Amino acid sequence: MRIDFQTSPETYRHWKIDIDGEVASLVMDVDEKGGLFEGYELKLNSYDLGVDIELNDAIQRLRFEHPEVKAVIMRSGNDRTFCAGANIRMLAGATHAHKVNFCKFTNETRNSIEDASEHSGQKYICLVRGTAAGGGYELALATDHIILSDDSSSSVALPEVPLLAVLPGTGGLTRVTDKRKVRRDLADVFCTIEEGIRGKRAVDWRLVDEAVPNSKIEEVTAQRAREFAAASDRPGDGPGVSLTPLERTFGEAHVKYSTVTLEIDRATGVATVSIAGPDDGAPASADDMLAQGAAFWPLRAARELDDAILHLRANEPEVAVLVMKTQGAPDAVLAYDAFLEANADHWLGREILHYWKRVLKRVDLTSRTLVAIIEPGSCFAGTLAELAFAADRSYMLIGGFEQDNRPEAALQLNGHNFGRYPMSNGLSRLETRFLGEPESIGAAQARSGEPLDAETADELGLVTFAFDDIDWEDEVRIFLEERASFSPDGLTGMEANLRFAGPETMETKIFGRLTAWQNWIFQRPNAVGEDGALRRYGTGRKPDYNRTRV
């Protein structure tokens, strides 16, 4: 079955969006029968990947389609349960690859909530009635303000270790300590009890922000939403941009969009993503950008690349190498970059820039070898040059091919390459590349705007190798064959370690430290074996653990 990451509110089965002026309600009301796969029911507002695909879509639509929305109240449509977290039966029956990709996507989705809060003036409040357990509490942790019903049945919990022998998979451990600043020993207690914590103690331990009696909780929640909305810099009126369905066609070994093509060679384990630059000029004004809507080239290309990367992750697990190519006029890409920079304070310009930041992070976090191929006719310029800097290796052709009249390969930099799109470590890709060479950053920045040929790009350290057409085909072929022959496990670990040099942030901890441990635990018999905790959960039989500490 092909997993599709495209959806829309009229087809949602698990979420509802209600707009009331400056405040939106995002209501989680999971359809028990609406699981992505057979073999489990999504009881107690538990979720699988399908539930999170809808949530991701809803967050995007609130940012792009509703500039008037300044505060979002996340709540449950089930008064007895906020959310029971990831569905246990789904996890127990899923392949290892699906479990890991599921956790990665849910992490990226929760990060997008925090990104909306930090950069879009769209604050999130979580109203918790009933139990918020595991991934349910992790969902609450992604919001700015958690309001817990102060009653005998409402609680927050991270019971994965005692109940399931796994870790909270969506950043819970990290957000408890790094975001909410819960004391380490209290966090240890919290993460090793099954029943969770209620009321005043949850507030005292900073697990929630307020515990409010049921009789006042709606009033308090509405007041907090008004307070957050009053501090927002979103425009408050004017039209949004409808995220219309993507134009795409699926073939046996390709997906074709309007600006992006994904071609898959399963025999070699190589997939190629080609991005076409704009074929028209940048608009004259922000009004023109709004009028183009989802057809505006930077937004269209970002959405298509995002979908292609997610398709590759979920549906092509044996692809080892992702080759990044571009085609078009570099000047046209730079013109659109300049337009967006000039309109960075306009709500839509801001949203598009932050969307590109998130898409590029998704590329960084994709567990494939990434290689950029910079050939004649390419447009690795500005925003699209970030794809070359995201790659594990980049190959650039010196000169041209015989009987090829396309323009010589060139790299072009602009301000977007020097901090506009930070990685998960908080640094630009060039800062990460030149971590021990600050002078190289200066040298590259001094050449911004210039078309840099292969030999110059090589001299500046902007590409890994530059070859002429005599060696080109053999060098690229040998690299791809060699890469495909290595252990994918070893490469995944190596690449993930090398990509994120520099400082550690909450994001790098979640995607590196926490995810690496969860990846390992998901393969251990104590969790997923026939007698492990995930398999025996709900059977009344205790798991049988191998007590050896590894």
Beta bridge partners of 131: 81, 155
> How many residues belong to the chain?
550
Q: Give the integer Cα–Cα distance in Å for 509 and 424.
A: 9
Q: What pLDDT digit, counting tens, does each position of 366-394 carry?
A: 999 999 999 999 999 999 999 999 999 99
Q: Which residues of the chain have pLDDT under 50?
A: none
Pairing of strands 210-212, 254-257: unpaired
User: pTM for the whole thing?
Assistant: 0.96
Residue 214 backbone phi and psi in degrees, to 5: -55, -30
DSSP per position, 452-498: B-HHHHHHTT-SSEEE-HHHHHHHHHHHHHHHHHS-HHHHHHHHHHH
Q: What pLDDT digit, counting tens, does each position of 125-142 carry?
A: 999 999 999 999 999 999
pLDDT reported for residue 448: 97
Q: Where are the alpha helices (DSSP H) in 73-170?
A: 88-93, 96-119, 135-141, 160-164
> Per-domain residue ranges for the chain?
9-230, 248-499
Same fold flag, 9-230 and 248-499: yes
- What's the CATH fold of domain 248-499? 2-enoyl-CoA Hydratase; Chain A, domain 1 (3.90.226)
pLDDT reported for residue 444: 98
User: What per-residue string of b and e applies to 286-300 under the rule 16 or more CB within 10 Å gives b?
Assistant: beebbeebeebbbbb
pLDDT reported for residue 236: 76
pLDDT reported for residue 550: 85
Q: Do 514 and 522 touch, CB atoms closer than 8 A? A: no
CA 483 vs. chain centroid, Å, equals 25
Q: Give the integer Cα–Cα distance in Å for 126 and 268.
A: 47
Q: How far is CA 543 from CA 39, 164, 435, 469, 521, in A?
A: 21, 9, 46, 61, 15
Is 218 exposed, middle or buried (CB count within 10 Å of its CB: 0-12, 13-18, 19+)?
middle
The tokens for 72 are: 């979002």
Q: Give the integer Cα–Cα distance in Å for 432 and 389.
A: 9
pLDDT reported for residue 220: 98
pLDDT reported for residue 151: 95
- The CATH label, of 3.60.10.10, 3.90.226.10, 2.40.110.10, 3.40.50.300, for the domain at 9-230 is 3.90.226.10
